[in-house]
Amino acid sequence: MTAKKEDKKGKGGKVVKALRTDKKERILKELKTIVGEKNATAEEHILYAYSYDMSFVTPKLPDYVVMAHTVEEIQKLMKFSNKEKIPVVPYTSGTNIGGLCIPERGGIILDLKKMNKIVKLDPEALYAVIEPGVSHGQLANALYKYNLRFGWPVGPPSSSVSSCAISHGIGHMNARYGLNSQEITSMEVVLPTGELVRVGSCAINSDAWHSCLPMPQMDGLFKGWLGSTGIVTKLGIAIHHIPPLLKIFTVSCDHVDDMYSYMLNLSNYEICDDLTAVSWWLSQVPIPYPYKPKPEDAPEWFSYATTFSFTEKEKEARTEIWEKVVNEEKNKGTSIQVTHYPEEALKARTQLPSQIVGSTKNYCKMGGAGISWPGTFTPANRWAPIYKEWKKIMIGRNLSPSIRMSMYRGVHYGMLRAMTPFNKKNPKETENARQAIVECLKVDLDNGGMPYKPPVDFAAEINKRAHPGYLMLMKRLKKFLDPNDIMNPGKLGI
């Protein structure tokens, strides 16, 4: 009797598996009809390549990988996926370190890298319109012909301009212009249900991509949502002239409180394009892994402040202000000293997009292919106390406290993050890093900081602290835009 039941159960399992196989083949056939025979696959070796990134997030296989080339293909794909309730995860270069493109529930990885046209470049109105696959290296090459620039991140030149911007990514001009998301001027989006929408000036005049204001800022429905509310197919971004004269001011000090005092003082004058400090551990490339004590005679903090000027007099004025700040900090009794910053490191911060330290893998060569972070937007006056707690957590777990602090558009807040390498080949070491990063995140959240490009582990911590009205509104908006919850489901932790 028991044997017959087991046999019957086994046959039932085969039937279910056969049905699933038939469904998968049917779906794959339809996907190929939409994007072309060579642009959709369920081959496992290709799926595997899309199942992981450099973060601690556990790899997960998609069911399909689809390469789109046009907006019309994306619309057809989304209508089909919405009807079939198939999850879709938008993907460009896959260089983020937060697991943002690792599918939580299988489904389709929608690779957008072939949509890589610079649709428009207006050197007088100072904006460009780009597709999602346009890389930082590609855009830089196009802009430099007009002596123009965008906010290049310290990241690989292959990374997507659009993905970085809509995820509130940073660039090398944050102290002057703010985040790359603040440089967005208009956008075109395919909704999860397949409709095409435009927000900003391009919604009223199809050739005008210059501003999201003074209209209702509906672009906010697609910024910071981790690809869970729609697929941005065109993005307008502000671009800027490159002044001819570059001057970089560098200092070092022994204490994080002294570095914060210097950065706050200097940022008040608003003369910098970028104002950043890094701990000794982050100034080492690659980052020491496991933890390596700092030499006693080495400063614990280094800062670089990049300034651009149009005339020699302007450059001299900026220099005068910087020297005034340094003297004021010394008179306070701080440990600030003018220092030499390695030439290669300076190139990596100014000649962007960079392949020197710009490729994230260069940070983690000692770790073994793993790197992640608590990357946060944090009130500047909380940097020093948070760093001291982070340092204890990191060293306690045998990890280097490789911390960066950067001012954003003004003086009151900025980026505080810990680049954390680890050995991905070793599950225990990966879990150790994950726990350290989440512990650091909790400290930051308790001090008013907010993580950006957050993995699901972070979303859980954010939502624990969230006002109930905030969560209610998030759920309503998500449900309204994505009624079948197919867009990168699970990433928001709601």
The pLDDT tens digits of the residues spanning 196-214 come to 999 999 999 999 999 999 9
Would 378 be classed as within a structural domain? yes
Q: Are residues 222 and 343 in the same domain?
A: no
Distance (Å, rounded) from C-alpha 259 to C-alpha 264? 9
Picking from 223, 241, 259, the residue at the C-terminal end of a domain is 241
Start-to-end CA distance of the chain, whole Å, equals: 46
Would 297 be classed as within a structural domain? yes
Q: Are residues 268 and 401 in the same domain?
A: yes
Q: Are residues 269 and 395 in the same domain?
A: yes
Q: Are residues 237 and 256 in the same domain?
A: no
* Closest to 457 measured CA to CA, from 195, 128, 100: 100
Would 100 be classed as within a structural domain? no
Would 5 be classed as within a structural domain? no
Domain of 313, CATH number, reads 3.40.462.10
Would 65 be classed as within a structural domain? no
Distance (Å, rounded) from C-alpha 54 to C-alpha 281? 20
Picking from 421, 439, 454, the residue at the C-terminal end of a domain is 454
Per-residue pLDDT in tens (0 to 9) along the chain, 494 residues = 334 434 444 455 665 566 578 999 999 999 999 999 999 999 999 999 999 999 999 999 999 999 999 999 999 999 999 999 999 999 999 888 899 999 999 999 999 999 999 999 999 999 999 999 999 999 999 999 999 999 988 778 899 999 999 999 999 899 999 999 999 999 999 999 999 999 999 999 999 999 999 999 999 999 999 999 999 999 999 999 999 999 999 999 999 999 999 999 999 999 999 999 999 999 887 899 999 999 999 999 999 999 999 999 999 999 999 999 999 999 999 999 998 766 666 666 666 554 444 456 667 878 878 999 999 999 999 999 999 999 999 999 999 999 999 999 866 889 999 999 999 999 999 999 999 999 999 999 999 999 999 999 999 999 999 999 999 999 999 999 999 999 999 999 98
Q: Are residues 380 and 318 in the same domain?
A: yes
Name, in order, each residue with C-beta under 8 angstroms of 107's C-beta and a sequence gap of 6 or more: 62, 63, 64, 81, 86, 87, 88, 89, 486
Would 195 be classed as within a structural domain? yes
Rounded to 10 deg, the angle between the 312-331 and 256-267 helix axes is 140
Q: Are residues 419 and 318 in the same domain?
A: yes
Distance (Å, rounded) from C-alpha 3 to C-alpha 157? 61
Alpha carbon separation from 492 to 87, 90, 313, 457, 486 (Å, rounded): 14, 15, 50, 10, 13
Picking from 209, 241, 273, the residue at the C-terminal end of a domain is 241
Q: Look up the domain containing 280 and give its range.
A: 245-454
CB 45 within 8 A of CB 91: no
Q: Are residues 380 and 408 in the same domain?
A: yes
Distance (Å, rounded) from C-alpha 413 to C-alpha 405? 10
Q: Are residues 147 and 221 in the same domain?
A: yes
Would 57 be classed as within a structural domain? no
CB 324 within 8 A of CB 268: no
CB 135 within 8 A of CB 157: yes
Q: Are residues 318 and 423 in the same domain?
A: yes
Alpha carbon separation from 259 to 34, 262, 276, 279 (Å, rounded): 55, 5, 10, 10
Name, in order, each residue with C-beta under 8 angstroms of 90's C-beta and a sequence gap of 6 or more: 101, 110, 112, 132, 227, 231, 487, 488
Which two structure tokens, joined as six digits, stand for 31? 């996907």
Q: Are residues 297 and 420 in the same domain?
A: yes
* Closest to 367 measured CA to CA, from 314, 304, 272, 288: 288
CB 291 within 8 A of CB 398: yes
Strands 40-41 and 450-451: unpaired
**What pTM does this model have?**
0.92
| Burial tier of 85 (Cβ tally within 10 Å: 0-12, 13-18, 19+) | exposed
Residue with tokens 């650091």: 440
Residue-wise pLDDT for 32-58, tens only, equals 999 999 999 999 999 999 999 999 999
Q: Are residues 169 and 301 in the same domain?
A: no
What is the four-CA torsion angle of 300, 421, 99, 67, rounded to 10 degrees? 110
Would 181 be classed as within a structural domain? yes
CB 275 within 8 A of CB 322: no
Domain of 168, CATH number, reads 3.30.465.10
Q: Total structural domains in the chain?
A: 2
Q: Are residues 282 and 431 in the same domain?
A: yes
